[in-house]
Structures are given as structure tokens and as C-alpha cells.
Amino acid sequence: MKLFFSPASPFVRKCMVIAQEAGIADRIEKLPSAAGPVARDQTIIPSNPLGKVPTLITDDGQVLYDSRVICEYLNDLAGGVLFPAGGQARWQALADQALGDGIMDAALLARYEVALRPEALRWQDWVDGQMSKAHDALAQLEKNVKRLDGRLDIGVITIACALGYLDFRFASYDWRSTHPGVAAWFKTFNARPSMQATLPPV
């Protein structure tokens, strides 16, 4: 398999954590990409017209995107249980995946505003609006942090990758002091070999 890859992307990281946990990371060839919201990677577009990472090319040549589809494929390929088969556990895992993805989407949009937009055109209200999504998501997680305990599925993996991205790109955002329960859970989960093997570059 081949994966168009950016080590800074939290969505790529989510896929690679799944691959690590499923024991198939060594079957994935990483194709470095400089894909971004402005300068799209022309090498990806023939496979994925959106020109985005992550994009996976399977061993039989099928092209899969985005991270939700790729993660489910990798889990299925390995016969894994990182996507619960049914019932309440499945819907909670998928809802938590959506929450984690939402944090990552918001953080990426805030990051693009301050890192890519010319300074004279930056809109602080936009940044604040995006980061408020992360704040509200963290507040909900703090109230319900017990539901994360003891789980290893797509939901908690996505939430962990989202928290890791906040640390990576928004180091001054001190979410731990106001969300101690989430911080304690993340400290334990982030120590997993799959999380340590996929840390973004310093």
C-alpha cells in the first residue's frame, strides 16, 4: 500500500496510529507530500482530485480517502476491532471520531489563518471562533471523561490525535489546566507505542 503522507497532518497521524495498532504499519509505503490548502500537491490529484492527504492506494490499486475511510479500511484489512461492530459501543466510537475530527478541522483552519494568510488580512474573530469549537469540545469531554477509560477504538484514537495536534500547533493553549481529567487520560493514552511512533516533527 502507498499513503500520500505529511507528518504534520493530524488526519494522517490518525491513519498511522490505526495501522500501528492493527500491526500493518510496515506494509504502508509513505509518499511524502507538500499538500496544502493553497498549493495543492499535483502528484496526488491524478489519484485524488481533492489533492489532499491522507490518500491511500491499496495493493490492488484502489484509491481511498479521507481519513475516516482509510482508517476503516486498514482496520478491516487487519481483521481488527478498532471499529466496534455494532450497538452502543459503535455509535459512541463513531461520535467520538466525529468530535475529534471536528477539533482537528477547527484547529487546522485556525492554523491556516495565522500561518498562511498575509498578516494584513488575518481575521482574529475567525481564529477565535474556530478555537472556541476546541474549547467547547474539551469541556464536554471533561464532563464525560470516564467514557474514554479503558477503550481502544477509532473514537479515542481520533480524540488523542486531536489533542496531540493542539499541543503541536498551539503550544500556548493551556488546555490541561482547565481540563485535568482529559489531561490525565491523554497522558496515559499518549504513552502508547502507536502514539509515540507517530509524533509530529519537532
Dump pLDDT digits (tens) for 96-130.
999 999 999 999 999 998 888 888 888 889 888 99
Distance CA 172, CA 166 (A): 9
Q: What is the mean pLDDT of the chain?
A: 95
How far apart are the C-alpha atoms of 34 and 31, rounded to whole Å? Answer: 10
All residues at 6 or more sequence positions from 5 whose CB lies less than 8 Å from its CB, including other chains: 12, 30, 31, 32, 33, 53, 54
- SS3 category, 61: coil
Amino acid 70: pLDDT: 98
pLDDT reported for residue 181:
98
Answer yes or no: is pLDDT of 159 > 90.
yes
Alpha-carbon distance of 170 to 155, in angstroms, equals 22
d(C-alpha 192, C-alpha 117), whole Å: 36
Give the pLDDT of residue 168: 97
Q: CA 37 to CA 100: how far, in whole Å? A: 20
Class for domain 87-193, per CATH?
Answer: mainly alpha
Q: What is the pLDDT of residue 140?
A: 97
- Read off the pLDDT band of 8 (50, 70, 90): very high
| Superfamily of structural domain 2-77 | Glutaredoxin (3.40.30.10)
pLDDT of 202: 78
pLDDT score of 193:
98
Q: What are phi and psi of 113, to 5 degrees?
A: -60, -40
- Arithmetic mean of pLDDT, 51-72: 97
Residue 192 is predicted with a pLDDT of 98
How large a percentage of the chain has pLDDT more than 70?
100
Residue 162 has pLDDT above 80, yes or no: yes
CA dihedral sign of residues 21, 6, 4, 101: positive
Q: Is the pLDDT of residue 139 over 80?
A: yes
pLDDT value at 6 more than 80: yes
Write down the pTM of the prediction: 0.96
Calculate the alpha carbon distances from 170 to 111, 139, 148, 182 in Å: 8, 17, 23, 17
pLDDT tens per residue across span 14-58 = 999 999 999 999 999 999 987 777 778 889 999 999 999 999 999
Domain boundaries, the chain: 2-77, 87-193
pLDDT of residue 40: 81
